[in-house]
Copies of this chain bind each other. A is one copy, B any other.
Amino acid sequence: MALLVLMPDRDATDLVAALRNAQSDVDLRVWPECGDVADVKFAVSWNHPHGELLRFPNLEVVSSFGAAVDHFLDDPSYPAGVVTVRVVDPDLERDMAEYVLCAILAHRRHWTWYHDRKKEAQWKPRSYTRSGTVLVLGLGRLGVATARLLASMGMEVIGWSRASKELPGVRCIVGRAELHGALPYADVVVCMLPLTPDTAGILDAEVFARFRRGAYLVSVGRGRHLVESDLLDALADGRLSGACLDVFATEPLPSDHPFWDHPAITITPHVASLTNPASVAEQIADNYRRMSSGEELLNRVDLGRGY
């Protein structure tokens, strides 16, 4: 019985060390060195090559190395019979909230603009804006943590979610009509929605037309929330002053994509919150033990619902 680590685009060194630390006797294989494929019953996967999981005839459990499971949903040959779980790094909410705060402060304080001036040895003080209402789209765990942090900073925060919520310091709204009513008041709009048929393409021309003129977009949910050509149009006509994007419909973002060259777009390569191997190795080892002893697994995912 073996545990396979299958993360082609990440360095697995830290995870392997943390798993050995959490459970020293596990038979650990690191893709592509899989040994006898019949041994593998548990796989930790992140962006595995489509079809690859079918090579393991005795695979019982697949664990995402993160909260996201899009990479499983995207694989048309994802094995139907396996139990799917994920890991929940308790610090991811904090990381996400800090990323959003960093994006907002760096925008207000012209951080990358000064970086460009530095290359020209140009001393060019600019004023900055203080006030600001932030509209957070999506009040899941990450959205709640972010709304709370921004409110604790003294910002006015509006939170939009499908089901009604109550959060101290946050004005919570629901439904399309209330969203449309709130958009003109937001200096910053942060998209932290889950990706569902209702939310795919939600950041489109119709929604941008309701933004306050010169508002700023921070997109950290999923790339497919955004209609990319509509963003370019909204930037071109000044409706939006800029955007900070961490997620994209196609990742890695293709090198010929127009976002790369756009001066008002900040791009980070899906790093707003990254699972820390040391934080989650114990959860993976625990689920491996549970599988071995026939117990219920933790953090199971229903791929039919998408989360």
A interface residues (Cβ-Cβ under 8 A, vs B): 91, 94-95, 98-99, 101-102, 105-106, 109, 111-112, 114-119, 121-128, 130, 149, 152-154, 251-253, 255-257, 260-261, 266-271, 274, 276
Nearest CB of chain B from residue A46's CB, rounded to whole Å: 11
Nearest CB of chain B from residue A93's CB, rounded to whole Å: 12
- In the bound complex, how far is the Cα of B111 from the Cα of A271, in angstroms? 11
* Known interface pairs A130-B91, A255-B121; A115-B266 also in contact (CB < 8 Å): yes
- In the bound complex, how far is the Cα of B115 from the Cα of A159, in angstroms? 29
- In the bound complex, how far is the Cα of B118 from the Cα of A257, in angstroms? 11
In the assembled complex, which residues on chain B have CB atoms less than 8 Å from the CB atom of A102? Answer: 102, 105-106, 109, 111
In the assembled complex, which residues on chain B have CB atoms less than 8 Å from the CB atom of A106? Answer: 102, 105-106, 111
Q: Are B266 and A127 in contact (CB under 8 A)?
A: no
* Known interface pairs A112-B112, A130-B95; A274-B125 also in contact (CB < 8 Å): yes
Nearest CB of chain B from residue A145's CB, rounded to whole Å: 12
In the assembled complex, which residues on chain B have CB atoms less than 8 Å from the CB atom of A94? Answer: 130, 154
Scoring A95, A251, A267 by chain B CB atoms within 10 A of each residue's CB, the highest score goes to A267
* Known interface pairs A105-B98, A118-B260, A260-B118; A124-B255 also in contact (CB < 8 Å): no
In the assembled complex, which residues on chain B have CB atoms less than 8 Å from the CB atom of A271? Answer: 109, 125-126, 128
Partner of A269, one of B119, B123, B266, B270: B123
- In the bound complex, how far is the Cα of B268 from the Cα of A105, in angstroms? 14
CB closest chain-B residue, reference A91: B130
Nearest CB of chain B from residue A10's CB, rounded to whole Å: 8
> 19 A-B residue contacts at CB 8 Å?
A94-B130, A98-B153, A99-B109, A101-B101, A102-B109, A109-B268, A109-B271, A111-B111, A112-B112, A118-B260, A121-B257, A123-B251, A123-B252, A125-B271, A127-B274, A128-B271, A128-B274, A130-B276, A149-B153
